[in-house]
């Protein structure tokens, strides 16, 4: 099983990222907590719209089975369900800590969106536009 954690950076010691679509990268692990792959999320994190869907498409392309994150919007949730992925929410601390929490059964499965559309987007005035 391939488990992806939304992350602020490319190491397991980096903070886990609450945002699915706008995270910097995903770290992919196996069930033995071995780091298998770092997937950059550049195209989605800087997209004007559709970041969640683009992120999910990337995860599907990399054959991820489970996603650990914080917030998932309605369009991303539809893509997750259509792609057959499982998503768990409640990441906190580092990527490694979030992975351990999942493996211990401490994270909650997400069956419906828990964020409004465009909730992870940086407002234009803060983005310097």
pLDDT at residue 48 in the model: 67
Structure tokens at 27: 């770290």
The enclosing H or E element of 60 equals helix 51-61
pLDDT in tens, the chain (129 residues): 999 999 999 999 999 999 999 899 999 999 999 999 999 998 776 776 778 899 999 999 999 999 999 999 999 999 999 999 999 999 999 999 999 999 999 999 999 898 776 554 544 344 444
Phi, psi (degrees; rounded to nearest 5) at 100 = -60, -40
The CATH architecture that domain 3-127 belongs to is: 2-Layer Sandwich (3.30)
Residues 6+ apart with CB under 8 A from 45: 21, 22, 23, 24, 51
Q: Write the burial class of residue 13 (CB in 10 Å: 0-12 exposed, 13-18 middle, 19+ buried).
A: exposed
CA distance 68 to 115: 15
Task: Give pLDDT, residue 62.
Answer: 96
All structural domains of the chain with their residue ranges: 3-127
């Amino acid at each position: 099983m391939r488990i992806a954690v939304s992350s602020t950076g490319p190491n397991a010691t980096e903070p886990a990222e609450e945002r699915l679509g706008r995270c910097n990268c995903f770290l992919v692990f196996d069930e033995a907590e071995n780091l298998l792959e770092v997937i950059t999320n550049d195209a989605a994190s800087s997209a004007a719209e559709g970041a969640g869907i683009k992120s999910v498409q990337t995860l599907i392309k990399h054959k991820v089975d489970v996603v650990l994150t914080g917030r998932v919007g309605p369009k991303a949730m539809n893509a997750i369900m259509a792609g057959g992925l499982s998503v768990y929410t409640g990441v906190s601390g580092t990527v490694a800590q979030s992975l351990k929490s999942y493996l211990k059964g401490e994270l909650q499965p997400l069956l419906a969106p828990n964020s409004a559309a465009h909730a992870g987007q940086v407002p234009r005035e803060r983005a310097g536009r």
